[in-house]
């Protein structure tokens, strides 16, 4: 996964979080990847998410470690599923939306983690505050 796409995804999760927060986006951990006839060990970047509120079956403090290779597979799957995403992401990483980040995390965790990202409204006072 390109670093720019990864960072944009982290930005959306951190900005629009409702019950899950990013604990560590720079952790490197060893992972086991099963191939057809062998097992490979790989050290890769790992996204660590934690529930700071209870939601459904997930209690407060539950953590998920999502290896980058799972995010890569989810990104490839999402590209195949959503044609508009495929065209947007070819242009630049800044075209990754919060909805895209949510779908990628859902695919990478096999449907276990649903972020429920909510854009926060920008508050504009109806009257100037100095009156």
Identify the CA nearest to 118 among candidates 65, 53, 66. 53
Tokens encoding 40: 């490979």
H or E stretch covering 103:
helix 98-108
Q: Evaluate whether 101 touches 17 at the Cβ level (below 8 Å).
A: no
> In angstroms, rounded to a whole number, what is the distance separating the alpha carbons of residues 95 and 125?
30
Per-residue pLDDT of 29-70, as tens digits, reads 998 888 888 998 889 999 999 999 999 899 999 999 999 999
> 121 pLDDT exceeds 90?
no
Question: Where exactly are the structural domains of the chain?
Answer: 3-108
> 80 pLDDT exceeds 90?
yes
Q: Evaluate whether 10 touches 22 at the Cβ level (below 8 Å).
A: yes
> 123 pLDDT exceeds 90?
no
> In angstroms, rounded to a whole number, what is the distance separating the alpha carbons of residues 94 and 126?
32
């Amino acid at each position: 996964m390109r670093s720019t796409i990864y960072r944009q995804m982290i930005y959306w999760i951190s900005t629009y979080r409702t019950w899950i927060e990013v604990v560590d986006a720079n952790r490197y951990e060893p992972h086991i990847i099963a191939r057809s006839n062998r097992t490979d060990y790989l050290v890769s970047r790992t996204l660590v998410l934690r529930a700071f509120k209870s939601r459904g079956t997930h209690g407060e403090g539950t953590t998920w470690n999502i290896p980058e290779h799972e995010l890569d597979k989810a990104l490839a799957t999402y590209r195949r599923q959503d044609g508009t995403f495929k065209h947007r992401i070819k242009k630049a990483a800044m075209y990754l939306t919060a909805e895209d980040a949510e779908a990628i995390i859902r695919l990478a965790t096999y449907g276990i983690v649903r972020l429920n990202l909510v854009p926060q409204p920008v508050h504009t006072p109806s009257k100037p505050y100095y009156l």
